[in-house]
Structure 1
Amino acid sequence: MRLKVAAFTALAACFWLPHVSAGVNIGATRVVYQSKEKEANLAVANSGEDGVPYLVQSWVSDFTHPEQSADAFIITPPLFRLDAKGQNILRIIATDTQGLPKDKESLFLLNVKAIPAKSKEQQNQNVLQIALKTSIKLFYRPDGLQGSLTDAVNTLEWRAQGGKLSVHNPSGFNVVVSELLINDKAAKNIPEVLVPGSTVNTAIALNSSDSLVLSYINEYGSTVKASPATLR
């Protein structure tokens, strides 16, 4: 039995990489939904290298409970056929956001699942078809939220609390952590996201003289190194 795997590749928001794997590719690593807009869009393409169409299904789920769908959004089309070399645009539409905070971002997951069809050569063969799912972050940003993501990173409050690292995010923005260097060494067990208003207490030993440098993911999916943090 041959194993067929459709590979997903996370691409930059504004262009398609020329060397992609066979399968379905999405056009961004994250989506920022501005509440003042009627919708947000995400490009989906079939690289066509394997020559088969895919059945593509998309939906939004809760970030902390990925198994739960988010009723605040719909995606259209939710289910469609994507032929080889074909492209389509997913439209993410906010339908029920009254219960979402007005003073901070809300974080969700945008999920895309693709099921490959059998190629002509596989019609009479025993082939295991695997549906793969990719999930990217969906940020819902309320209108009037003050500041920027860069401002949010600069206002993070780092402390040596009882000899352990503690960080507080007083802003209304989600800060996605790429890496934290403590004295030029990568710290482990750092949360993936510092959510608005949260305080994270870690088991990481820290002295007031230690140097901290945070690298975070910006709105376009790029890694940015922040200025050295100051302990408070």
Structure 2
Amino acid sequence: MLYKHLVPFFLMPLMCISQTQAAVTVGATRVVYKGAEKEANLTLSNKGDDAPFLVQSWVSRYGDDESKSVSDFIVTPPLFRLDTNEENILRIIRIDDSALPKNQESLFLLNVKAIPALSESLATQNVLQIALKTTIKLFYRPLTLKGEVKDAVQQLKWSQSKGKLSVRNDSGFNIVVDEVKINGLPMKSVPEVISPFCTMHLQTPAFNGDNLSLSYIDEYGSSNTAPSVVVH
């Protein structure tokens, strides 16, 4: 999944709101950093015609405070100006993977904040300036992890206990869930990610013999539907 947040960063009384719309777009919905590579790249584009942007980027840990950067990776350039109709490439560089598991993916978030420049006409006015923050998943896949996500999905073990659904992931891959259906009906509440080597106990009603279908997001950002399974 890709997240976008509007972040106000300058506020004065009797304010007006800048009409400049953030036009910085990222070139992918996720980044897979393979352990054999020295770096991973992401393209940023400013497709607007109104103003340049100041772009700031950093990596945070998935499930943690997004504003808190980690020491495992650096992003370069961390801060730069992106003019209208221009592109730039973010380079995500691994600093130290000694603390990261060698038998499973580690999940992070790549955060990109774009702050629009004020036009001369607005520079002297009381303005609420809006920054657009985009967050995408960053998967670090160690060199020693073999196999593919699609195989890991098919190896998920779905079961029920006392009428509630559980799922066990015995692989080293993070499974990003798009949709889960039971007997053709979409679940209202699904986990965003089924983490490696974990068992998740869900509140969804399920019984022996139920037919379950999982749609997941692959490493290219596409939704795929795995073969249906029977809950036991």
**Could you state the TM-score of these two structures normalised by the residue count of structure 2?**
0.89
CA distance in 2, matches of 1:119, 1:85: 17
| 1:16-75 deviation per Cα after TM superposition (whole angstroms, max 9, x unaligned) | xxxxxx5111100000000110000000011123x2011100000010103432110000
Q: Give how far 1:118 is off.
A: 0.8
Matched residue type, 2:118: K
CA distance in 2, matches of 1:160, 1:48: 51
CA distance in 2, matches of 1:29, 1:117: 25
Partner of 1:55: 54
Partner of 1:18: none
Partner of 2:11: none
1:164 counterpart = 2:164: yes
CA distance in 1, matches of 2:19, 2:204: 39
CA distance in 2, matches of 1:119, 1:5: 10
RMSD: 1.4
Q: Secondary structure at the match of 2:42?
A: strand
CA distance in 2, matches of 1:47, 1:124: 26
Identity among equivalent positions (%) equals 54
Matched residue type, 1:61: S
| 1:138-169 deviation per Cα after TM superposition (whole angstroms, max 9, x unaligned) | 00000021210000000000001221100000
Contact 1:29 1:137 in 2 (8 A): yes
Partner of 2:5: none
CA distance in 1, matches of 2:20, 2:30: 21
Matched residue type, 1:213: S
Contact 2:207 2:231 in 1 (8 A): no
CA distance in 1, matches of 2:110, 2:56: 11
Partner of 2:88: 88
Q: Secondary structure at the match of 2:121?
A: helix
Contact 1:32 1:138 in 2 (8 A): yes
Q: How does 1:143-162 map to 2 (within 5 A)?
A: 143-162=143-162
Structure 2 unmatched ranges of 5 or more: 1-14
Moved more, 29-38 or 61-70: 61-70
CA distance in 2, matches of 1:146, 1:88: 32
CA distance in 2, matches of 1:167, 1:211: 14
Partner of 2:65: 66
For these two proteins, the number of residue pairs brought into alignment is 217
Moved more, 26-35 or 184-193: 184-193
Q: Secondary structure at the match of 1:121?
A: coil
Matched residue type, 2:65: P
Structure 1 unmatched ranges of 5 or more: 8-21
Matched residue type, 1:146: K
Q: Which has the higher contact order (CA 8 A, sep 6+)?
A: 2
CA distance in 2, matches of 1:164, 1:72: 38
CA distance in 1, matches of 2:19, 2:70: 28
Q: How does 1:172-191 map to 2 (within 5 A)?
A: 172-191=172-191
Q: Secondary structure at the match of 1:70?
A: coil
CA distance in 2, matches of 1:48, 1:201: 45
Q: How does 1:69-218 map to 2 (within 5 A)?
A: 69-218=69-218
Matched residue type, 1:149: V
Moved more, 66-75 or 214-223: 66-75
Contact 1:3 1:127 in 2 (8 A): yes
